[in-house]
Chains A and B, each alone.
Chain A
Amino acid sequence: MWINMGPQHPMTHGLWNLRVKVDGETIVDAQPEVGYLHRGIEKICEGRTYTQIIPITDRLCYGSSLTWSHLYCLTAEDLMGVEVPERAEYIRVAAIEMQRIASHLMWLAAYATDLGLMLGFLHAMRDREVFIDLLQALSGSRLTYNYPRIGGVAHDIPPNFERDSLRACAYIENRLREYEDLYEGSRVFMMRNVGVGLLKKEDAINLGVTGPPLRACGVNYDLRKEMPYSVYPEIDFQPAVHPAGDCYARYRVRMDEMYESCKIIRQAIQKMPKGKWRVVAPRNAPVGTGMGRVEDPRGEGMMYIVGDGTDKPYRMKVRSPIFVTVSAAPRMLIGYKVADVVAIMGGLDMCIGETDR
């Protein structure tokens, strides 16, 4: 019996369709279908100037919009050859790590509801608020920030931002320990997670899975470490890796990444130099290509921009991590139960905005 889980289904976190073939309660085949939220962002961007694209790229992912506008600015700077002031780099690093924590907390919230734990949803969303407030103080908005600029960031940091960030980090570290007690202390949670959705390391590498699902397979690969961008080389942190390859490993990797993000925020705040936070970028891009690669909260985000000498990009291509990761979903799903679908797909942290673009 084929079951359509989606396009409108509590499991989907957005608008996509997972067709699963079940034999009783066991999944024997799965077929993800995406494209319900395709907005043609790549085509839209061809008709806009480089500055106008920044808010568009914010709309790529509602969970972590800052990462995408940051990635776009990185790519455009690569294309135009703009040097970003160091202060701006540190501000960006602090901001995208806050965004990463917010995104992971949103994942935690959604994951808890997927497993039937409303308690986790509301508490994680409440703690996400702390970081949303910080980003609001930084940029002025709460979901789509429109904060990075080509050649820096839009504003300098607001007063007391350092103090608030450090407080937020201390707060979230305490809360994360509580979450660990709440989740890992619960036998039911462990029963639902350990050994569910196993993905072999070779499969994960071959299928192009990136980000936390890949690191949960025991592959120590984090773009912030391996191909550092921005000022990540000067910051001391450990990528979170777990060898198991199941849902629990994905949960563990994301939790550890939040601890690491706190460390990164602290260092970025401490090392932030005085100086300019923005340089003026040229209006027109040269003929050529620019490429940027970042570690999105969901995996490897990548952009490729072809410039033709005008003020509009000739072609812009976005690599969405989830678009590739979800194509590996059948490999994780087959053989498990219907109830495990929510755990496995929830563990991938689907974000349809970036998947369908």
Chain B
Amino acid sequence: MEERGKRSSAEGMESAVGGADDVSEEKVFRALLDSFPATVTDFKKLRAGVLRARIDRRDLHGACVFLRDSLGFEHISMISAVEYEGRFEVVYHVASWKHRLLLELITTTPKDDPSVDSVSSVWGGANWQEREAYDLMGIRFNNHPKLERILLPKDYLYHPLRKDFKGGD
């Protein structure tokens, strides 16, 4: 039909889903462990296609470059900063479209020096999300091209998502 001819379809399109070179969850973990033996810990498979790993913040940038270049994690979904007793955790949800994997990469930073390396040079999509984490949680991202407040006014004094922020003053 004429209309069908006009309509786009996935046929003939290079499929994002990989075939033979499927990287399983274990392979990702083993590759990460081999490359960063001292710093990657606490590997866990949360459910089908979703993994979790912790990584020391020294190796974060290197691990992200490795993830993107060698393991095919080309998309950063979300960067969330969480405040715990005595530490901040920065959670990177990194997705691989080829292998249908989502990796929850957690790095920890102490409260007196909340800083991690920026991954915005690895994934451009991390740029604004890191600014947002800095804005709301006060985590500094080293080597970030423009670490400024993004959602709140530039002269705002607090980082409102921290638990000690009460607001109003």
Complex interface bits, B14-39 against A, C-beta within 8 A gives 1, otherwise 0: 11110000000000000000000000
Contact of B151 with A218 in the complex, beta carbons under 8 Å: no
Contact of A241 with B10 in the complex, beta carbons under 8 Å: yes
Contact of A302 with B93 in the complex, beta carbons under 8 Å: yes
Contact of B6 with A180 in the complex, beta carbons under 8 Å: yes
In angstroms, Cα B15 to Cα A224, docked, is 15
In angstroms, Cα B125 to Cα A314, docked, is 26
| Cβ-defined partner of A184 (8 Å) among B6, B46, B100, B104 | B6
Contact of A304 with B124 in the complex, beta carbons under 8 Å: no
In angstroms, Cα B6 to Cα A253, docked, is 11
Complex interface bits, A270-293 against B, C-beta within 8 A gives 1, otherwise 0: 000000000000000000010101
The residue of chain B having its C-beta at the shortest distance from the C-beta of A319 within the complex is B78
Which chain A residues border B14 with CB–CB below 8 Å? 218, 220
In angstroms, Cα B128 to Cα A35, docked, is 12
The answer to the question of A239 belonging to the interface, with a C-beta cut-off of 8 Å to chain B, is yes
- Of the candidate stretches B55-63, B69-77, B109-117, the one touching chain A is B69-77
Q: How large is the interface on B (under 10, 10 to 19, 20 to 34, 35 or more residues)?
A: 35 or more
In angstroms, Cα B3 to Cα A356, docked, is 38
Contact of B80 with A304 in the complex, beta carbons under 8 Å: yes
Minimum distance in angstroms from A323 CB to a CB of chain B? 6
Residue picked from B17, B127, B132, most chain A C-beta under 10 Å: B132
26 contacts between A and B (CB under 8 A): A34-B150, A42-B161, A43-B161, A184-B6, A205-B74, A206-B74, A208-B124, A209-B125, A219-B97, A220-B14, A220-B17, A226-B97, A240-B10, A241-B9, A241-B10, A293-B102, A302-B78, A304-B80, A319-B77, A319-B129, A324-B125, A324-B128, A327-B124, A327-B125, A327-B127, A328-B125
9 closest residue pairs by CB, A with B:
A208-B125, A317-B80, A319-B78, A35-B151, A242-B8, A207-B124, A327-B128, A38-B151, A206-B124
B residues contacting A by CB (< 8 A) are: 3, 6-10, 13-17, 46, 49-50, 74-78, 80, 82-83, 91, 93, 97, 100, 102, 104, 123-129, 132, 136, 149-153, 160-161, 167
A residues contacting B by CB (< 8 A) are: 34-35, 38, 40, 42-43, 177, 180, 184, 203, 205-210, 218-221, 226-227, 238-243, 249, 252-253, 255-256, 259, 289, 291, 293, 300, 302, 304, 306, 314-315, 317, 319, 323-324, 327-328, 356-357
